[in-house]
Structure 1
Amino acid sequence: MIQPALLKKQRIVFCLLTTLIILTAVIGMGIGYSPLTYDRLIPTFLGQGTFKEDFILFSVRLPRIIITLLAGMALALSGAILQGITRNDLADPGIIGINSGAGVAIAVFFLFVPVQAGAFVYLLPIVAFAGALMTACLIYAFSYNRNGGLKPVRLVLVGIGFSMALSGIMIVLISSAERSKVDFIAKWLAGNIWGADWPFIWAILPWLLVLIPFTLYKANRLNLLGLSEPVAIGVGVSIEKERIALLLTAVALAASAVSVTGGIAFIGLMAPHIAKALVGPRNQLFLPLAILIGGWLLLFADTIGRNVVDPDGVPAGIMAALIGAPYFMYLLLKK
């Protein structure tokens, strides 16, 4: 039974986070290389803007804000799932190599597979999922011990090793590629929000509409998986079955996000920890907050990054790393 006081606190924090996201989005709509004055936002939304104002808002700013928000939510939830099933507070799809696996798959697909432009957008999440899944399976296999089960510390170390190896493969792949294609992959690696258009939103949205409710439904199973294995088995949890289902969910969420935003780390690490600090470690309470925090963090990083330097700005992945790397070091030293 969840205490009523905690439920009330969760609702208050949820409303505050929603308000913070809306404020950040409104600020992001108005600032940029081509500014849009705030007194023109509502008229433009209502169809009373000029051609330039319509283009800036509906073709440039709004789709980027939505895709950044959705990707941040997906990465945060993926990180929360990974931390739960591995019982490791340092687990994150970017840190343990899942994002790198998706990146190599996207690079191979982009460089060597001829495909029509219209289908490219919708195939990217599937390709990223295949690469991320293969990587996750290898990391899981190398981290698992038949006698001792899954070793959380080993999982992080193996994941970092895979991430470095896959980065080397990526360099080999792009070393002989055309300059235009190398530029795209370089932007992807830096975490540049490159898929900032409406088709990319329709490509990522179905994944979230299915996987977010599924994860919230599995919240109690995540609570049990966070206990020791004998306790989880004792209450009737099929550990391996639940782990595999949730691992597939985490991989799919991370892959769908990075397929349109590029290689972004640390969002999945920070958001669950901040949410737990606010309402405690129970998944039913902190998962909805972690989703909103992840969306806001990436939106905030992108809003700051794209306005630091004109005209291209700093990629959101670099801004997220500047925020997240010190936090990762703090957690590493603490644990």
Structure 2
Amino acid sequence: MNQVMFHRKRTIRTTITLIVLALIAFGVLLLSMNTGFSKMSPMEVLRTLFGGGTPKQHLILFEFRLPRIVIALLVGIGLAIAGAILQGVSRNGLADPGILGINSGAGLAVVLFVITNPQRESTSPMLLPFLALIGAFGAAIIIYLMAYKRHKGISSSRLVLSGIALAAGVNALMIVMTIRLDPNEFNFIATWQAGSIWGSSWKFVIALLPWLIVLIPIALWKARQLDVFSLGDETATGLGSQLNMQRLVLLVVAVAISAACVAVSGGIGFIGLLGPHIARRLVGPRYEHVIPVSALIGAVLLLTADMIGRSILQNAEIPAGVMVAIIGAPYFLYLLARSKA
């Protein structure tokens, strides 16, 4: 009876948390629509949203601001969910698509394609997630091989350290690649590495959305499997879990979500680290609660970072990835100091 009451209270707490976070995300979204180089008052934004406003206001809101806001919302959701999955599969609270080098692998594939394709302006954005997926899986395989020890399996600490090393190597490679590039290509790589939301048009929203629509329900469906992983391999096997197959499915989901997000947002890190950690503090360790709460936290974090980055300087913008890193890097060091791995 006490157990039933506990789960009921936890579910009510999760529901309230989700409602509050959804309201915060909606509030930040509204603020974002009022933020930018061209000034629009809240009333002008509302009037334009409901079909009024001048042609210029309509262009600013629907062609420049809203696509970027939607991309930030979707990418924040995707990276936070991917981070929650990776932390559950690896049983390591420091796991994150950016820290593990998966984002770097995905970005390298996209960057290589963009700078070697002279007709990149005419390339369909639908192709970019597939290219990012190739790079992300390549990085994931390398990290797995580096972290694997015979007779001991995967070490969580080796996994994180291997990912950090791979990400550093890939980022160094991209810097070397910029030496002989023309200014436009150089600016693209610099923008990507800084984590600016560069795919800010509706065609990139359409390219990203199907991946999240397909993969996020799978992540929610497999949430209880992540809870089983937290019990340890022997207990999970005793409960009838097919460990290797379940891990593979969840890793594919996490890597694919990360790749699709990176393809339109660049190298944004720490969202997948911060989202799940904050979620566990709010609603406890069960992944059926952690995953949806992480998603909304990730959305709020990236929306807020992008909004601040666009408004903090008068005639320039700070990439969202830089703003997230200002928060995420100290938090990562704090977690690393507390880690017993």
TM-score (norm 1): 0.97
Distance 2:119 2:260 in 1: 19
Q: Does residue 91 of structure 1 match 2:95?
A: yes
Residue of structure 1 equivalent to 2:282: 278
Q: 1:187 aligns with which of 171, 188, 191?
A: 191
- Other-structure match for 1:110: 114
Aligned to 2:325: 321
- After TM superposition, list the pairs within 5 Å mapping 1:32-181 onto structure 2: 32-115=36-119, 117-181=121-185
Residue 218 of structure 1: how far off its partner (Å): 0.3
Indicate conservation of the 8 Å contact 2:89/2:229, yes or no.
yes
Give the distance between the partners of 1:240 and 1:226, measured in 2 at CA. Answer: 14
- Verify: 1:311 aligned to 2:329, yes or no: no
* Partner SS, residue 123 of structure 2: helix
- Cross-structure match for 2:260: 256
Quick check: 1:20 aligned with 2:24? yes
AA aligned opposite 2:115? L
Distance 2:248 2:129 in 1: 20
Q: 2:34 maps to which residue? A: 30
SS of equivalent to 1:224: helix
Whole-Å separation in 2 of the counterparts to 1:128 and 1:236: 34
Hey, what's the Cα distance between the residues in 2 that align with 1:311 and 1:131?
35
How far does the alpha carbon of each residue in 1:35-79 deviate from its partner, in whole angstroms, 9 at most, with x for none? 111112222111111111101110111111100000011100010
Q: CA deviation at 1:226?
A: 1.8
SS in 1 for 2:167: helix
Structure 2 distance, partners of 1:233, 1:299, is: 40
Tell me the distance in 1 between the aligned counterparts of 2:301 and 2:288.
21
1:210 aligns with 2:214: yes
C-alpha distance in structure 2 between counterparts of 1:97 and 1:168, whole Å: 13
- Number of residues paired by the alignment? 335
Match of 1:10 in 2: 14
1:245 CA displacement: 1.0
Matches of 2:329 and 2:216, distance apart in 1: 26
- % of aligned pairs identical? 44
Counterpart-to-counterpart distance in 2, 1:7 and 1:146? 41
Secondary structure of 1:168's partner?
Answer: helix
Tell me the SS of whatever aligns to 2:241: coil
**TM-fit CA distance, 1:84:** 0.5
CA contact (8 A) 1:82 1:247 kept: yes
1:230 aligns with 2:216: no
Deviation at 1:118, TM superposition (A): 4.3
Equivalent pair of 1:36/1:56 in contact (CA under 8 Å): no
- Residue 293 of structure 2: aligned partner: 289
Partners in 2 of 1:211 and 1:63 — Cα distance? 21
CA distance in structure 2 between the partners assigned to 1:33 and 1:271 by the alignment: 29
Aligned partner of 2:303 in structure 1 is: 299
State the Cα distance separating 1:31 from its structure 2 match: 2.0
Question: Is the Cα contact below 8 Å between 1:107 and 1:173 reproduced in 2?
Answer: no
Instruction: Quote the offset at 1:117 in angstroms.
Output: 3.3
SS of the residue corresponding to residue 103 of structure 1 reads helix
1:119 deviates by: 3.4
Point out where structure 1 has 5 or more consecutive residues left out of the alignment: none
The answer (yes or no) to whether the contact 2:196–2:265 under 8 Å persists in 1 is yes
Q: Distance in 2 between matches of 1:113 and 1:212?
A: 32
Structural RMSD (CA): 1.2
Query: Could you say which residue in structure 1 is the equivalent of 2:225?
Result: 221
Contact 2:35 2:310 in 1 (8 A): no
Q: Which runs of 4+ in 1 moved over 4 A?
A: none
Give the letter aligned to residue 134 of structure 1.
G
Q: Which moved more, 1:325-334 or 1:139-148?
A: 139-148
Indicate how the Cα distance of structure 1 residues 114 and 239 shifts in structure 2: closer, same or farther if over 3 A, else same: farther
